[in-house]
Amino acid sequence: MSRLEILKTYKIFIGGQFPRTESGRYYAPLDKKGQPLANMCLSSRKDFRNAVVAARKAFGSWSEKTAFNRGQILYRIAEMLEGRKGQFVEELVKQGSTEAKAKQEVELAIDRCVYYAGWCDKYQQVFSSVNPVASSHFNFSALEPMGVVGIIAPQTNGLIGLVSTILPVIAGGNACIVLASENLPLCAITFAEVLATSDLTGGVVNILTGTEKELVEQFHSHMDVNAVVYAGGNKENALAIETGADSNVKRIFVYENDFTKATDENPYYITDLQELKTTWHPIENVGGATSSY
């Protein structure tokens, strides 16, 4: 007698918790043979609004952490990923990847966590400046996080694109709401389980599953989202976000790469989501007028 496998229900990740979608709707992504892989929440606009509230609440405490502490937490994420590598490889294989490619993708995701962990306490030194002025002042330009960032992850891969769009956002002290790949969503929620056990403040990363078609408008229209990173690969949706953001002056970043190459990592993905703040500080003019000997 054959046994009927019980499909796992993958919940969404909001505020450090794993609620079911408030809409009560689900969908089943299929494998290459057309068989259902799992029950995935079909997130609603209400889920998105709840995620924004959670992200805004978490932003203050996360942005106020020391850069070194944020780096420690991102490194902890890499440790947790390493420990669950087998599970991620298995899920990628279920979604159509070969075992060799799946292992490569997971290891690249782990290495990328380490890469951005290292940048947490260095990007300020590299990209901030002391500016020359013609008065008795120090003039500093420093980077500050934008706030709440909406992310639509690449649709072409299940893990590396998600990780590569989240990490630079939170490395810079922002909080985010992420829409995972619609057809390859399994690793996204498993990655949320990693985040929930890695000392990351609840609400800093919120992960939804569902369709771009239903939620894309929320990303550009919600007034408490400060910026949007779009990597979904749909030119029509990218244009809709860029056009819709005109009314509320959001920063929009459209990334067309799928992040599967080792070169798809750089500190500019961190600085994209930073505001430049300039501060003047008066000082004594030690040189006086002219110096003579």
- Reported as type and span, the H/E element at residue 127 is helix 123-127
Instruction: Give the span between the Cα atoms of 63 and 61, in whole angstroms.
Output: 6
- CA distances in angstroms from 229 to 85, 141, 232, 242, listed in the order given: 27, 24, 9, 11
Taking only the tens of pLDDT, the chain with its 293 residues reads 677 778 889 999 999 999 999 999 999 998 888 889 999 999 999 999 999 999 999 999 999 999 999 999 999 999 999 999 999 999 999 999 999 999 999 999 999 999 999 999 999 999 987 777 777 877 888 899 999 999 999 999 999 999 999 999 999 999 999 999 999 999 999 999 999 999 999 999 999 999 999 999 999 999 999 999 999 989 999 999 999 988 888 999 999 988 998 889 999 999 999 998 888 777 776 655 555 54
- CA distances in angstroms from 267 to 71, 117, 121, 217, 249, listed in the order given: 14, 11, 11, 29, 24
Q: What is the pTM of this model?
A: 0.91
Instruction: Give the span between the Cα atoms of 12 and 14, in whole angstroms.
Output: 7
Q: Which two tokens stand for residue 100?
A: 């060799």
Instruction: Give the span between the Cα atoms of 286 and 263, in whole angstroms.
Output: 47
Instruction: Give the span between the Cα atoms of 52 and 58, in whole angstroms.
Output: 10
Burial of 110 (0-12, 13-18, 19+ CB in 10 A): buried
**Is beta strand 137-145 parallel, antiparallel or unpaired with respect to 129-131?**
antiparallel
